[in-house]
Every structure is written in structure tokens, then in C-alpha cells.
Amino acid sequence: MVEDVTDLYREFGENRLPPGQRQTDRFPVLSKSGTPDYNPADWRFEVYGAVDEQLTYDLESFAALPHVRQRQDFHCVTGWSRLDCEFAGVPFVEIADRAGVDADAEHVLFHALDGYTTDLPLSACRREEVLFADGLDGEDLPADHGGPVRVVTPHKYAYKGAKWVTGVEFRTEPQRGYWEKRGYSETANPWNEERYS
């Protein structure tokens, strides 16, 4: 079953397409330094920081986690939106609950193979539509779009969704990520056009 979460915009604004965005049928590829190489046998996904139990998955154990499928929209801060992406993935809350997040954790810093980082408040991650996605439109997630696993954050501009994610660090304090350090908004709500800080 594919769950449709494309109506989440109602929580934030009147229109499904956020202000200043234009719809594209393509799915452009954006990255700071290209698609990184990795060896599938060495790939690890680690959950650490302010948690009861650190977790480590390899590709096989990650694939065995409970997955959901969702229809979501995707909004890039540079102005394009791709509607109705069908992502498959493991919900953020599934991972957080398995690790047992400390009561004083308030932020999440995502780490990626290319050295990219991005930060979100824990409350912004504990939402059903935040997924560690490994599938797109019925196929494995393509490497250019962040495969084997990326984060998707349809309630935020897409730079909040780390491609090639390898680490999830729970923190008591925020830490600005790659684009946040370079002037992009820490909150990144597309319906408020929170593009820059």
C-alpha cells in the first residue's frame, strides 16, 4: 500500500506548491560534490549520540527493517518542486524508537558519505513522512538521488534530506550543517519561504 502524504501542506499553507516554486516533471540531481563511490560490503548506517543503544546496520540488515511506501512532494530551495515521488523507506521514528532517544536530545545531525551534514530539531524529524528512503518509484533508489539510502523531508526544503546517509547523531544542542553554515535557513519551511537565514 502506498500512503499519500502530499496533503501535509495543509498544516503549513494554502497551496500544495509552496510560494516561489515551479513544478517540474523531471527529477533534477543536486549535490555539492557529485555522487560518491562506496563499497556495498563496507556500507554502514550508524545511529549514535544521545541514545540508549547505538545501532549499526549493513545493507542486508537495513533492508530487513520494516518499510513503508509513501507518495510525497519534493521541494528544492533553488525553486523547483517534483510532485508525487513514490519513496520506500524506513520511518525515522522506527529507527529512533529502536535506539531509544535520551530525554534531553533535541536535535538530529545527519551525516553522509560525501561529508555532507544537515541538522533538524528532533520534533521536525519525529513525523511520519521523514523516511530513510531506499526506493523511488518502485525501483532501488538511484545512486544520483542518494542511494543506497537517503533522508526525505517533504515538509522542509530538500537540503534537509541527506543523500547517501550513513549516520544519525542525536544531540542535545544544534550544530549547523553544510548549507546551514553557508547561509541557508535552519528551519527551511517552504510555505514560509524560509530559504536563507
Ligand X SMILES: Nc1nc2c(c(=O)[nH]1)N[C@H]1C(S)=C(S)[C@@H](COP(=O)(O)O)O[C@H]1N2
Query: What Å distances lie between residue 35 and 131, 167, 174, CA to CA?
Result: 20, 17, 27
CA distance 181 to 179: 5
Nearer to ligand X, 10 or 32 (CB): 32
* Residue list 138-197, contact with ligand X (CB under 6 A): 145-146, 158-159, 161-164
CA distance 89 to 166: 14
Only segment of 25-33, 49-57, 87-95, 126-134 that touches ligand X (CB under 6 A): 25-33
Beta carbon of residue 23, minimum distance to ligand X (angstroms, whole number): 14
Order of strands across the sheet with 55-57? Answer: 55-57, 45-49, 165-171, 107-112, 117-121
Nearer to ligand X, 27 or 48 (CB): 27
For the record, the C-alpha cell of 120 comes out as 533538524
According to the binding rule CB under 5 A, does residue 31 interact with Mo ion?
Answer: no
Residue selected from 45, 90, 114, 152 as contacting ligand X according to rule CB under 6 A: 114
Query: What Å distances lie between residue 125 and 129, 140, 170, CA to CA?
Result: 9, 23, 11
- Return residues touching ligand X (CB under 6 A): 28-32, 76, 112, 114, 116, 145-146, 158-159, 161-164
- Return residues touching Mo ion (CB under 5 A): 30, 76-77, 159
